Amino acid sequence: MCADDKMKSRLSVRQRIALQGLILATSFGQAAEGPYHRDYAPNTLGEKLLAFADIAGFTKGFDEWMKESLNVFREMSPDTLPKDFATMIKGRNGFLGYITSKLAEIKDAVDPKYFDRLNAQLEQIKVDLGEKGENYRQEFEEIGARK
């Protein structure tokens, strides 16, 4: 709404609607119900590409992806943090499933070699979470100790 108000003298209604879609595209919590419920989902190719780019931190490797995840937890209210380490790992696996679905949505829009590379990187993060996730237990528990 703020972007629409600030841009109404510079952009047409159609352009402002497109801008709103792009802004909302980065809202990954688009669950059907629960605390992350949103009625919005990316529809246009531009929105889908932006939504994917917003959650593509996995391309930096496992350790960077986990650091980013833990930084998100640091920004959360203590009451909304996962209740324990196992729940956090389960949630990270769920988020990887979400990333996989967003990657599938852009498959036809990117070069097949690039898609294959992204898919391989994502699969490696899934493996690493199972093999190296435990390395982040203490850090996660320190974040959870804020409760």
Q: Per-residue pLDDT for 38 more than 70?
A: no
pLDDT value of position 5: 81
Q: Per-residue pLDDT for 32 more than 80?
A: no
Determine the residue type at 83.
K
Mean pLDDT across the chain: 87
**Closest C-alpha to 71, from 143, 146, 145, 141:** 143
On whether the CB atoms of residues 46 and 22 are closer than 8 A, the answer is yes
DSSP, residue by residue, 60-119: G-HHHHHHHHHHHHHHS-GGGS-SSHHHHHHHHHHHHHHHHHHHHHTGGGS-HHHHHHHH
Q: Per-residue pLDDT for 83 more than 80?
A: yes
In the chain, the N- to C-terminal Cα span, in Å, equals: 34
Average confidence (pLDDT) over 14-27: 78
Confidence of residue 28 (pLDDT cuts 50, 70, 90): low
What are the C-alpha distances in Å from 125 to residues 28, 62, 68, 120? 19, 6, 13, 9
Average confidence (pLDDT) over 114-142: 97
Average confidence (pLDDT) over 29-40: 58
Q: Is the pLDDT higher at 95 or at 147?
A: 95
Q: Per-residue pLDDT for 108 more than 80?
A: yes
On whether the CB atoms of residues 124 and 62 are closer than 8 A, the answer is yes
- State the CB neighbour count (10 A cutoff) for residue 105: 16
- Whole-model pTM: value is 0.78
On whether the CB atoms of residues 106 and 47 are closer than 8 A, the answer is no
Q: Per-residue pLDDT for 37 more than 60?
A: no
pLDDT value of position 25: 73
Lowest mean pLDDT among 52-56, 108-112, 124-128: 52-56
